[in-house]
Amino acid sequence: MVKYDTVLIRYGELSTKGKNRKDFITRLFHNVKYALRDYPDLTYQKTHDRIYIKLTDEDADEISEKLKRVFGISSFSFTEKVESNIEEIKKTCLRIASESNKKTFKMMTKRHDKSFPMISDEINRSCAGEILHNTDLTVDVHNPELLIRVEVHEKYSYITSDKIKGAGGYPAGINGKVLLLLSGGIDSPVAAYELMKRGLFVEAIHFASPPYTSEAARNKVLKLAEMMSEYQGSMRVHVINFTDIQLNIYKTAGDPYAVTIMRRMMYRLAERVAQASHCLAIGTGESVGQVASQTLESIAVINETITMPVLRPLVCFDKVEIIDLARQIGTYETSILPFEDCCTIFDPKNPVTHPTSEKSVHYETMFDYETLLNEAIEKQEVISVYPRKEEEEFL
């Protein structure tokens, strides 16, 4: 394992955000420091196109795992920072090659400082010569096992042999706040990930129907929220008691329309909570055609109850793609734990797939839902969750 003294972070979609460059960098800088808060000895420096982190004796793999979760980073590398003179550069390239356990290599130099007395090609040749002379490695320009990159800047140069892909997107929180309907299922945590990647700060709302839904089901949702909070530092979860509303729906609307009305009520509640929490949009894990309540007709009839924009990042994703992503972000195993959801408990046998507004409104006038909605909002519980510390997992 090659040892390096600096992490070099490259920014993500910065070019498209010209005028907001400063905000982007400031937020990313803050988010990177937050992600690495457990390492107090790191020192940070930000420039117009990079963040540099000086390492002391930290575990590179651990730092790498944390950085892969920070949105706004396009890539990062572990590098050795040396003074910009050719002897230092050569010496470091040789060390990296010797410590690498690789058989073939290639040099790649980029000269940011054009006043450096050698051009890139000369630097490549000089460093390659040093390695060829002192090790058994040979050059392979097409398919090298080890690619040594040298970046020459005015005062310092950075030498690295890896480039790790970052999460991309925008730094979490830079584009405002959205209220996500968070169930205990597979889809909504993935929706949270996609929204956060767009720089949105995600707050969550969950509908629980105790005693039909258990404490375990609720804890599972909080656990998912906690996992997703890792990407933005914390997450507020509004837990709404949905039991009375659901019981009334089943008494009045009966089987086929129950799901449609239930989801209309969820939207209404979400919009009100979103407004009170200064969220400008609602988010869901809906995907067209996945289940009865997600046909285009259903989405239209459900959506008409509110005016706030609804962001559905998974709308065109296949279930397989969603599952892949859930595995990548680590929520899949928790999502498939077999706890009942408020929807599954009251799941009707024949949900309508082509609901109409007229019928929905007809069923809704059969009970005083306004009072029930207000009560549910008044009694909501707001819980803040934070990323779990590694050692807590073992308690």
Closest distance of CB 275 from Mg ion, Å = 24
The contact mask relative to ligand ATP for 299-338 (x = CB under 6 A, - = no) is ----------------------------------------
Supply the minimum distance, in Å, between the C-beta of residue 49 and ligand ATP. Answer: 37
Would you count residue 360 as binding ligand ATP (CB under 6 A)? Answer: no
Q: How far is the CB of 183 from ligand ATP (least distance, A)?
A: 3
Number of residues that bind ligand ATP (CB under 6 A): 19
Among 293, 295, 298, 303, binds ligand ATP (CB under 6 A): 293
Q: How far is the CB of 368 from ligand ATP (least distance, A)?
A: 22
Q: In the set 92, 248, 284, 303, which binds ligand ATP (CB under 6 A)?
A: 284
Answer yes or no: are the C-beta atoms of 300 and 263 closer than 8 Å.
Answer: no
CB of 252 to ligand ATP, least distance (A): 20
**Position 218: which residue type?**
R
CA torsion sign for 316, 188, 183, 239 is negative
Contacts of 394 (CB under 8 A, 6+ apart): none
Rounded alpha-carbon distances, angstroms, from residue 122 to 80, 117, 214, 366: 20, 10, 69, 83
Asked whether position 298 contacts ligand ATP by CB under 6 A, the answer is: no
What are the beta bridge partners of residue 311?
A: 283
Span 169-198, contacts to ligand ATP by CB under 6 A = 181-183, 185-188
At what angle are helices 357-364 and 254-276 packed, to 10 degrees? 80
**For Mg ion, which is the closer residue by CB, 183 or 232?**
183
Residue 291 as a binder of ligand ATP (CB under 6 A): the answer is: yes
Q: Which residues are CB-contacts of 76 (< 8 A; sequence separation ≥ 6)?
A: 7, 8, 9, 10, 64, 67, 163, 164, 166
Q: How far is the CB of 263 from Mg ion (least distance, A)?
A: 11
Instruction: Indicate whether 238 belongs to the interface with ligand ATP (CB under 6 A).
Output: no
* 265 belongs to the binding site for ligand ATP (CB under 6 A): no
Tell me the residue number closest to ligand ATP, measured at CB: 185
Asked whether the bond before 117 is cis by omega within 30 degrees of 0, the reply is no
* Least distance CB 100 / ligand ATP (angstroms): 44
293 binds, among Mg ion, ligand ATP, none (CB under 5 to 8 A by kind): ligand ATP
- Which lies closer to Mg ion via its Cβ, residue 14 or residue 269? 269
How distant, in Å, are the alpha carbons of 15, 24, 25, 101, 198 from that of 19? 9, 10, 12, 45, 17
Strand 310-311 and strand 43-46: the pairing is: unpaired
Tell me how far, at minimum, the Cβ of 207 lies from ligand ATP, in Å: 4
Residue 63, classed as helix, strand or coil, is helix
Nearer to ligand ATP, 105 or 317 (CB): 317
Phi/psi region, residue 72 (left: phi>0; alpha: psi -120 to 50; beta: rest), is left
Longest dimension (CA), the chain: 88
For ligand ATP, which residue of 20, 290, 356, 380 counts as binding (CB under 6 A)?
A: 290
Residue 207 touches which of Mg ion, ligand ATP, none (Cβ within 5-8 Å per kind): ligand ATP
Nearer to Mg ion, 74 or 344 (CB): 344
Q: Kindly list the distances between the CA atom of residue 308 and the CA atoms of 114, 269, 305, 369, in Å, as whole numbers in the listed order.
A: 53, 12, 10, 20
Angle of CA points 240, 244, 246, to nearest 5°? 85
In the complex, the smallest distance separating the C-beta of residue 385 from ligand ATP, rounded to whole angstroms, is 15
Decide: is 207 part of the binding site for ligand ATP (CB under 6 A).
yes
Rank residues 224 and 311 by Cβ distance to Mg ion and give the closer one: 224
Question: Which residue in 273, 298, 276 sits closest to 287, CA to CA?
Answer: 298
Query: Is 36 an interacting residue with respect to ligand ATP (CB under 6 A)?
Result: no
Nearer of residues 97 and 343 to ligand ATP, judged by Cβ: 343
Residues that bind Mg ion (CB under 5 A): 183, 185
Distance (Å, rounded) from C-alpha 189 to C-alpha 223?
Answer: 11
**Cα distance between residue 181 and residue 107, in whole Å:** 50
Residue 271 as a binder of ligand ATP (CB under 6 A): the answer is no
Cα–Cα distance between 305 and 360 in angstroms, integer?
Answer: 10
**Residues at the site binding ligand ATP, with contacts judged by CB under 6 A:** 181-183, 185-188, 206-207, 284-286, 290-291, 293-294, 341-343
